[in-house]
Amino acid sequence: MSDTNDTSAIDNKKNQHSSTDSAESYLPKVTGFLYSVVLIFIIILLYFTSSSLILFVCKLAQANILPTEPNCTPYTSAKASITPSPIQTNIFTTFTDPEMSMKLEIPYDEYNSKHKIIDMFREYKEKSSSNFLANYFISITETLMQFDYSMISTIMNFFNSLPEALIVGLGPIFVALLFSFGVLLNGIYFIYLWFSNMYWFFKTNTNVSGEGKPEWEDVTLLSPLNWSLGLGLVILFAILFFFGFAFISFIPFATIFLSVFSCLFYRGKMNGKVVTSFSMITQILKHYKLSFVTSISIFIILLAFSNLGVVPGIFSIITVGLIYWGIIGIDIFYSVKETNLSQSVSYAQAVKKCLGVDKNAKKHGFLYDLAFGQKGGNLSKHLKKIGKNL
């Protein structure tokens, strides 16, 4: 009799230990599942955040107010004319026939026409005490930024013509790839500009009055000291390029980063309210709520199967289904009711013109002409100019 009781006690202890071990082994799985859910939520939230910023820049590109023209403000004092201004752009489009959308306007006003860095460069270039060496670096930086803004405007305006759902869904992937290509292209263009702008070493500012704009004259062999200084700087900067490229290569990366980053600080108007790229984030989460929640739900189900097992995975599918069909009273799968809709307008980009072009305004660079087109034999002129400099 005692043997039977002892056996039962041992079995009970084994069962208790087995239950404890099972609970202890399952707890890390639950912890890992919850950690993965939080991580996936953050990743998807960041993805939709980047989608909203990209969508805003697409509308900004259609408005054509980015500083893409070297002959216009902010690079020069010549004003730019945008037609039509402000242009209406479609946003949060429907799948109806005809297509309906809200309207976003990004005007070329006093706020949106300012650019602190380029404005600072222009003000320095117009100083009577402007120095040739500073203008060398300014010319490189300005040309790179103008090239970057032109790339952004051209590429994002093309994206703007694509279906909006495609921009929100795949935009971050495409833009990440194009940004990597842009960094490479910027580096190549920087190499060209580093050498092609060395003509500044053979310029001298003859304005000694301390007033008005600088007066630039070419340095020739008739001024042997200044000419020798220019030649010495050419040799010095050529050596600096080959032996210090790791140091100076931050310039093309900084310009493309600043150009992209600055696009996020423009302001527009939608439904009578001021909107920015950052306020667009909440709008995207609101209007693309179903896509956002569906993405999270799919990943939660997959994580339940992989981390917890088949039974919890099936249970998660049933739970999501009950929520989706409204049996469980949570409205996360209900889309927002669209308001302030009107028939969609044209996706054509606004036209920009320079009024009263500055006589000292610079022309497009060689690589810019290759990438964005040329007029009247600019390529041959550039080749002749390069040959003459050599």
Q: Where are the domains of the chain?
A: 65-271+342-361, 289-339
Q: Is residue 372 predicted with pLDDT exceeding 60? A: no
Q: CA 9, CA 29: separation in Å to the nearest integer? A: 31
26 band by pLDDT with thresholds 50, 70 and 90? low
Copy the structure tokens of residue 7: 């056996």
DSSP secondary-structure letter at 264? G
Provide the sign of the torsion angle of the four alpha carbons 185, 253, 176, 63, taken in this order. Answer: negative
Location of structure tokens 């117009």: 126
What pTM did the predictor assign? Answer: 0.83
Range of lowest pLDDT (112-121, 181-190, 241-250, 349-358): 349-358
Give the per-residue pLDDT at 118: 96
Least confident of 31-45, 118-132, 369-383: 369-383
Across the strands, what pairs with 100? Answer: 343
What does the mean pLDDT of the chain come to?
85
| Phi-psi domain of 210 (left: phi exceeds 0; alpha: psi -120 through 50; beta: other) | left
Per-residue pLDDT band for 20 (boundaries 50, 70, 90) equals: low
Return d(Cα 255, Cα 253) in angstroms, integer: 6
* Residue of higher predicted confidence among 334 and 271: 271
- Which three-class secondary structure state does DSSP give residue 5? helix
What are the tens digits of pLDDT across the range 80-139? 999 988 899 999 998 888 899 999 999 999 999 999 999 999 999 999 999 999 999 999
Q: Average pLDDT for residues 365-372, to the nearest whole number?
A: 44
Strand blocks (E) in 186-247: 203-205, 216-218
- The pLDDT tens digits of the residues spanning 287-324 come to 999 999 999 999 999 999 988 888 888 988 998 888 88
Q: Tell how far CA 350 is from the center of its chain.
A: 20
